[in-house]
Structure 1
């Protein structure tokens, strides 16, 4: 788990308090620290860094897209938490002292950068694993044209009913229910040959409708096909209309062309 020092947090909050850091002048150090941490999860899950892959190969292009998504997500996260911490400058009509502001804003920082960030790191690992796996699925589909959804351990109400669901690789069902289907999801897709027994259509449609209805919108996707770790439906990407152009510019934050290796 990435640990931010008390000195780091205090300096950040002092910047917000004195106005040098705002939702429109975001802290680049926080942005890069978040991105670097999540990128470690991405590379761990994918099983490679960009430097390990052949440029212009299918795997390289996919990982490059996922990496860019990590930076875009990190920018949106930085924007949202900075905006929320900025809101702590006042309590109704009262302007808080720095001590009062720090007490409240520190709670926001902890929520975003301990509680949320830990889960987001695990999500980066899991979605990268599945994105890489999907490349293999596509390569092997002439031999293994079918997929079976398999749960691990105590399945939740989203995934439990899907256990054993079987459909062709090209079935649009996998556009929605390819794991991960929720935070900390550990489900997998098993490759099967042409003799696999497919889920009947009447059961298929009901299972898909139920699962999709229970899933958060950000998980209704396929990381290998959509080439993202965090879908555009993630709440961090939800900004006020006046800030949409700013968001389109990655909130004014740069995306490095390489990892400096």
Structure 2
């Protein structure tokens, strides 16, 4: 699973590389401390000689993993001024995402436990593999997830502030610098009513480390774009076929403000064994 996720999280563009460098400098200590929390979860998994999704509610080490992920994502929510109902919804989604992420990495770690004869491998044989998995999920992936949470919550807060006046449309804006990916440049200045279907799928952020935004503009000052043409541009901007033949950017086709979701509802964590039960509260 991790190979597919690694490809999902890092496209290698200038924007991704710049944001990774900035995060490594500003949150380095936070992520380093969390690596100890997640490593304790892997140690508990080895002690238990396996993992079951229902263990997330029973094992303190697993609960700490979920809460630790939530606490980091919540840093991206707390700094935004938004209605209390919106904030609670985003925080609830962050906690759910923390559970799904914990389930995904613990499930993957459990696949490393057994020798070919079915016996449990000694921890010393697994230590380096657990460390690699830990850094991958709880530094590399989590850095991208945190930045997405920052941008997603900011855009959700902005959605809650948008008015209902018929004098205004929404206009898509990039950061207009040399770090903007070409696919997002094609969306710059798209101008459409708030209720247009375009915003259901292509309201920012539209990818990991996306810095795009929307602004309200007067209808009599900016000409409205063609909805169908804009949607096609949005589809192109969120299409990148991976080696598995699947579109790895399709998960970003959602509106965090309108849906009150912090993280992509169709993230691959949702497809790991046990995820459905977690989402249903079982």
Report the TM-score range of the alignment, normalised by the length of the smaller protein. Answer: 0.7 to 0.9
Q: Does 1:155 align with 2:180?
A: yes
| TM-aligned CA distance change 1:182 to 1:245, over 3 Å | closer
Find the partner of 2:69 among 13, 16, 34.
34
- Match for residue 65 of structure 1 among 74, 81, 89: 89
Partners of 1:13 and 1:102 within 8 A in 2: no
Aligned to 1:142: 165
CA contact (8 A) 2:155 2:257 kept: yes
Which of 149, 174, 178 aligns to 2:199? It is 174
Could you list the per-position Cα deviations for residues 29-62 of structure 1 after superposition, in whole angstroms to 9, with x for gaps in the alignment? 1111111121111112x236xxxxxxxxxx1111
Moved more, 195-204 or 229-238: 195-204
What is the deviation of 1:100?
A: 1.1
- Does residue 228 (structure 1) correspond to residue 257 (structure 2)? The answer is no
Q: 1:123 to 1:205 in 2, by over 3 A?
A: closer
Q: Does 1:104 align with 2:133?
A: no
How big is each residue's C-alpha offset from its partner over 1:156-191, in whole Å with a ceiling of 9 and x where there is no partner? 133111111111111110011111000000011121
Q: Is the 8 A contact 1:15 1:21 kept in 2?
A: no
For the aligned residue pairs, the C-alpha RMSD in angstroms reads 2.3
- Count of residue correspondences: 236
* TM-score normalised over the length of structure 2: 0.76
Shift in alpha-carbon separation, 1:121–1:82, aligned structure 2, 3 A: same
SS in 2 for 1:162: coil
Separation of aligned partners in 2, 1:220 and 1:18: 40
SS at match of 1:185: coil
1:163–1:234 distance in 2 versus 1, CA, 3 Å: same
Q: CA deviation at 1:10?
A: 5.1
The alpha-carbon distance between structure 1 residues 7 and 184, as it changes in their structure 2 partners (threshold 3 A), is: closer
- In 1, Cα distance between equivalents of 2:104 and 2:141: 12
Name the residue aligned to 2:224: 198
Question: Aligned-pair distance for 1:11?
Answer: 3.6
> Residue 5 and residue 230 in structure 1: after superposition, are their counterparts in 2 closer, same or farther (change >3 A)?
closer
Whether the 8 Å contact between 1:124 and 1:229 is mirrored in structure 2 is: yes
Deviation at 1:209, TM superposition (A): 3.5
Aligned residues of 2:49 and 2:120 also touching (Cα < 8 A)? no
User: Aligned partners of 2:234 and 2:35: how far apart in 1?
Assistant: 46
Instruction: Identify unmatched segments of 5+ residues in structure 1.
Output: 49-58, 253-261
Matches of 2:34 and 2:229, distance apart in 1: 52
CA distance in 1, matches of 2:156, 2:35: 36
Which segment drifts farther, 143-152 or 125-134? 143-152
Match of 2:143 in 1: 118
